[in-house]
Amino acid sequence: MGSIGKVSLPSEYVYAALLDAYSGLLSHQSIILAMNSSFVDPCMQFEFQLALVASSFKMVTDMPSLDKIKGIKDKKNYHESLEALYQSTLTVFEDTLMVLVSKDLYKLQMLKEIAVWMNENSSHLQERIMVIISRVLAFASQKSRTYPSVDAPCLGDLAAELALLCSHFNPAITQQASLGMYHLLCIAKSQNGSTTDKSKSHSNAIASSTDLEFLPKVLQRDKSKIAQHVGYNLIPSLLTDFVWNLLMKLSKPNNKTASEAASMLKLTLEYHAAKVTMVSKIVDTIYRKLCQNSTHITSIAMLRVIALLTRTSPKKVIFQLMDYPVPADNTLVLMWHAASSEASVAPLVMKTLLLILKGKPGESKDSLTGKSRPSMDETNMMPVAASQALCTLLPVSSYRKAVAQFFPQLLMALLLQVFYSSDLKVITNGIPFFARDALRILLKCSGLQQLDSALQKRNCWSQFSQVLFQHHGVYLVAKTLSDYNFPQFPETLRYLYKLSVEGPRRSEDSVVTVIFLTELLNNFFSNPFPEEFLVLFINWVNDVNPSVCKLSLQKIATMAPVVNKVENVCSLILSILDAFLSKDKTVVIRALITLRKLLEKLDKVIYSSLCTKIAASYCPLMDHSSEGVRSMAIRHFGELLRDMYQYTWMFKDVVLEGLVSLILFLEDPTMVVVRACKYTLEICSLQFDWSITYWLTDKNYDFEMVVLNICNNLNISHWSYLTDLISDTLGFLNSSRAYLRRGAVILLGYLAKLCSHLLLSLEIEVMLDAIDRMLRDEDSSIRELAKQTKKLFQEISYGLTSSSVKQTFRRLFNFFCFKKLKIIYHYKKIRYDKDLLRRPSSLTVSCYQASMHLSATPFTAGSGDYAPQRIHWLNFTGRLILKPILLCRCRCSTPVHHQCNSHDSTDRSVVATHCSVLSRDPTQISLMEREDSAM
């Protein structure tokens, strides 16, 4: 009895365990079936069913093994019943999976989870579980043929698990895994409805075989075949999942699994890397795993993945490698070396780096305005990272051919990066000067080691780090390249021309391009440049960057000796005239200088055809805000009149258009402008036979007398232009400069007086309105002059309102009888009186009163009579004192003492004292006369 009890306990225990597993699986199956028929949210349904499957899997794996069941021996043969129960339990588990898959192929994801659990569990049921997975996949394959479309996003991950199991040490598992892989590929073929002919031929090679014994020969233990077929049949997204799953297994502690995954991953990417998406994510994951303490085997495998992805997706890999902090760490440098191992894609890598080098470090686009704005964020330092990458890639032997191919592009791109990096002071932020280092490496790798040494001796490389000498550094590089006759000159010149025609991305890029191109042309071509390059300089004259404009103008100026050899000389001159419109005064000055140099050598026939346009371009500059531009434009206008004295009749209208400016700027406070006006008016006087030279000399200069004489001459020879001159003069009444308003009031009065017979009543009203505004001017002298001018206008207006017969007779008379004006304003005396009012000291008042007494009192002394003629301000002992100078009109012409009838003895004593000084020192007379002429 005891022995019977000992035998029955194991059988009852096994039976209870199997029965619990069986009942549990049935219970889970019923719940799963119920959920399939419900309207539960698909995501929640999947998660809950997956939990039930996990519980069912645990029940199955916890069952006693079949060997134990067969080892039970008793009289009643319980082991046969137990074995049947065991098989029934596995069948329920298999049926449950088929029920899930029959409802939705999306739930094939559970097979992937089961495969993972199986590898982690190392259960005795691995072989039977693989059989179940294979059968479920066969069932799903048959179902997929009846569906118009298949949605099974888990096939990539499941394929990765099966691919590793195809190399399992257990032949039975390997056979079932290969069979399951076959069915999986059939499902993938149904899902991939638009496969290529080539992929169809390979998949059909498997699908056409119905002999299961043939499958192990195709897929078992042959990683290359598995990789090929998986790549052909899986769509890109699923193949990416396949690669990603294998990549994650590289970090597994099980070295055999990691090695198998690395081998499969390598083969798959060698055949089908082009179909892999999410390259950037894969590269980033590899970088983060390499930063950890990865094993040597894992690191090698991951770096090989970088190399294979670079082969098919260089742009994605390179851009991702740029998206890390600068400077790059050792891990990133290793990845750069891995990327450079593929010589076949070296040109593509260089193109990608050149694309990145077009950017400016620290610059990003404003999301609202779309304009570039400076920023020093790490995410905007990709050009600096590209420069560092070139320091790694350029010396690589496999990249020599690509470096030679892209030498011009790399040279200019790195020069610009040197320029940008210096400007943003990247070096001072602790970041090495990678752009400069890459440029030096480029020269050395291109066989220009001597050039690098020469630049080092010229201190060129250190100058690049100084903002003030950046342009000079660019010049030194171009000059040294030219001096050494570098062999890459033809392709460099060709690229610079292409770059100049297409136009740079930024205005500051043009500066570097112009400097470099100009220096190369200077060393290899004589003036004038070939027409193709001359057109570039003509276009650069009106560039948005003032530095580019000035560089172009400076180069054009050097072509003055050969300007007549230029084919398109007219367009060259006209482009310089367009530069007169620049807002930068330095550009305008450079344009004026350049134009003058060209005109001095220009053929007279061409000169005469352009003189009218040139003269018209000078006129607006005469009223420029910069006194330097004003004086130069006025003087060059006079030189144009002098050069074209034989063709004055051609641009007479333009000369008279600028006449108002020439007259009014005689009162400019800047002496260089005054001298330019006098110079040009003297030339006008000679050309038009005006008698104004006497009044333009420094000794005899008098603004009102100049105006008076010019107006009288205009009335005789150019009376038809008087009304136009009035219109030009009215525009200066709104000037912000007082001396222009003052001169305009005087000139307006004389012009109106001359052509009063030509004016209409409406025109007089306009002029009166303009003068009324001058009566409220802040300058007292302008108000005084405006009063006289308004009185003059009122007299003219009164004449217009008289009888029409008198008005007609007056006009007819003025056409045949020219009247000469007389002085109206006595402007010089008004100016002196104004100066007196500005110095209201007691001594000034006394001297002024004394001068008035002397001017009102007749004098008699010997045979000469005397009269006060001028009032001077002389500087004695550091302060100004009024000096009434009484110049004797007798033969001796020397000042003498006079008796004054003034009642103020103090005033008489002051005047007598100063007059006595002058009588004792005749040199003071000449001194004061010179000062008087200067005034």
Give me the residue label for tokens 């250190």.
462
- DSSP character at residue 691: S
| Integer Cα distance of 519 and 496 in angstroms | 12
pLDDT band at 869 (very low <50, low <70, confident <90, very high): very low
Question: Does residue 110 surpass a pLDDT of 70?
Answer: yes
> 297: which 2 tokens?
């085997």
> 474: which 2 tokens?
């660019």
- DSSP character at residue 733: T
Q: CA of 531: how far to CAs of 477, 544, 576, in Å?
A: 25, 23, 17
Question: Does residue 488 surpass a pLDDT of 80?
Answer: yes
Half-sphere exposure of 845 (CA within 13 A, CB side): 4
H or E stretch at 882: strand 879-888
State the average pLDDT over residues 505-521. 84
What integer pLDDT is reported at residue 360 of this predicted model?
83
More confident residue, 182 or 845: 182
Question: Does residue 551 surpass a pLDDT of 70?
Answer: yes
- DSSP character at residue 418: H
- Cβ atoms of 764 and 751 within 8 Å: the answer is no
Question: Helix/strand/coil (H, E, C) string of 205-254?
Answer: HHHCCCCHHHHHHHHCCCHHHHHHHHHHHCCHHHHHHHHHHHHHHCCCCC
CB neighbours of 104 closer than 8 A, spacing ≥ 6?
none
Render 25-59 in DSSP notation, one character per residue. Answer: HHHHHHHHHHHHTS---HHHHHHHHHHHHHHHHHH
State the average pLDDT over residues 468-491. 83
- SS3 of 374, please? strand
Among residues 569, 575, 530, which one has the least CA distance to residue 552? Answer: 575
Measured on CA atoms in the order 179, 182, 186, 187, is the torsion positive or negative?
A: positive
Q: CA of 608: how far to CAs of 570, 599, 621, 685, in Å?
A: 11, 10, 21, 21
- SS3 of 868, please? strand
> 148: which 2 tokens?
């118009």
**Residue at 115: amino acid letter:** A
Question: Does residue 906 surpass a pLDDT of 50?
Answer: no
| Integer Cα distance of 314 and 308 in angstroms | 9
Render 558-593 in DSSP notation, one character per residue. Answer: TTGGGGGG-TTHHHHHHHHHHHTT-S-HHHHHHHHH
- Cβ atoms of 613 and 655 within 8 Å: the answer is no
Render 645-672 in DSSP notation, one character per residue. Answer: GGGGGGGHHHHHHSHHHHHHGGG-SSHH
More confident residue, 145 or 745: 745
H or E stretch at 476: helix 470-483
Q: Report the chain's mean pLDDT, rounded to a whole number.
A: 76
More confident residue, 204 or 651: 651
**Residue at 207: amino acid letter:** A
- SS3 of 772, please? helix
Question: Does residue 300 surpass a pLDDT of 50?
Answer: yes
Which phi-psi region, left, alpha or beta, contains residue 878 (left: φ > 0; alpha: ψ -120 to 50)?
left
H or E stretch at 255: helix 255-272
| Integer Cα distance of 72 and 93 in angstroms | 24
pLDDT tens column, 815-828: 545 566 788 888 76
H or E stretch at 879: strand 879-888
Question: Helix/strand/coil (H, E, C) string of 515-549?
Answer: HHHHHHHHHHCCCCCCHHHHHHHHHHCCCCCHHHH
- Cβ atoms of 35 and 45 within 8 Å: the answer is yes
Give whichever of 200-204, 406-410, 415-419, 476-480 has the largest mean pLDDT. 406-410
- Cβ atoms of 900 and 908 within 8 Å: the answer is yes
What integer pLDDT is reported at residue 908 of this predicted model?
36
Supply φ then ψ for residue 885, to 5 degrees: -95, 120
Among residues 227, 242, 333, which one has the least CA distance to residue 282? Answer: 242
- DSSP character at residue 397: G
Question: Does residue 76 surpass a pLDDT of 70?
Answer: no
| Integer Cα distance of 588 and 868 in angstroms | 49
Query: CB atoms < 10 A from the CB of 917, how many?
Result: 13
Q: What angle do helix axes 171-191 and 126-144 make, rounded to 10 degrees?
A: 20
CB neighbours of 581 closer than 8 A, spacing ≥ 6?
none
pLDDT tens column, 719-752: 677 888 888 889 899 888 999 999 999 988 888 8
| Integer Cα distance of 793 and 799 in angstroms | 10
Q: CA of 934: how far to CAs of 123, 678, 928, 931, in Å?
A: 117, 14, 10, 5
Q: What pTM value is reported for the model?
A: 0.70
Spell out the long-range contacts of 737-740 with Cβ–Cβ below 8 A and sequence spacing 24 or more: 738/777, 738/778, 738/779, 738/782, 739/664, 739/667, 739/668, 739/669, 740/664, 740/665, 740/667
pLDDT band at 348 (very low <50, low <70, confident <90, very high): very high
What integer pLDDT is reported at residue 424 of this predicted model?
64
State the average pLDDT over residues 419-445. 76
- SS3 of 874, please? strand
Question: Does residue 379 surpass a pLDDT of 90?
Answer: no
pLDDT tens column, 393-419: 999 988 999 999 999 999 999 988 888
What integer pLDDT is reported at residue 326 of this predicted model?
83
| Integer Cα distance of 350 and 414 in angstroms | 13
Question: Does residue 210 surpass a pLDDT of 50?
Answer: no
pLDDT band at 840 (very low <50, low <70, confident <90, very high): very low
What integer pLDDT is reported at residue 9 of this predicted model?
40
pLDDT band at 674 (very low <50, low <70, confident <90, very high): very high
User: 148 preceded by cis ω (within 30°)?
Assistant: no
| Integer Cα distance of 501 and 495 in angstroms | 10
Give me the residue label for tokens 């499957």.
53
| Integer Cα distance of 101 and 158 in angstroms | 14
CB neighbours of 818 closer than 8 A, spacing ≥ 6?
715, 716, 719
Half-sphere exposure of 889 (CA within 13 A, CB side): 7
880 forms beta bridges with 875
Question: Does residue 370 surpass a pLDDT of 80?
Answer: no
pLDDT band at 808 (very low <50, low <70, confident <90, very high): low
> 642: which 2 tokens?
């002098």
Supply φ then ψ for residue 701, to 5 degrees: -60, 130
State the average pLDDT over residues 266-291. 91
Least confident of 382-386, 582-586, 902-906: 902-906
Query: CB atoms < 10 A from the CB of 28, how many?
Result: 20
Q: CA of 180: how far to CAs of 107, 137, 147, 175, 744, in Å?
A: 16, 6, 20, 9, 102
CB neighbours of 120 closer than 8 A, spacing ≥ 6?
none
> 309: which 2 tokens?
């992805």
What integer pLDDT is reported at residue 344 of this predicted model?
87
Least confident of 25-39, 61-75, 152-166, 469-483: 61-75
User: 528 preceded by cis ω (within 30°)?
Assistant: yes
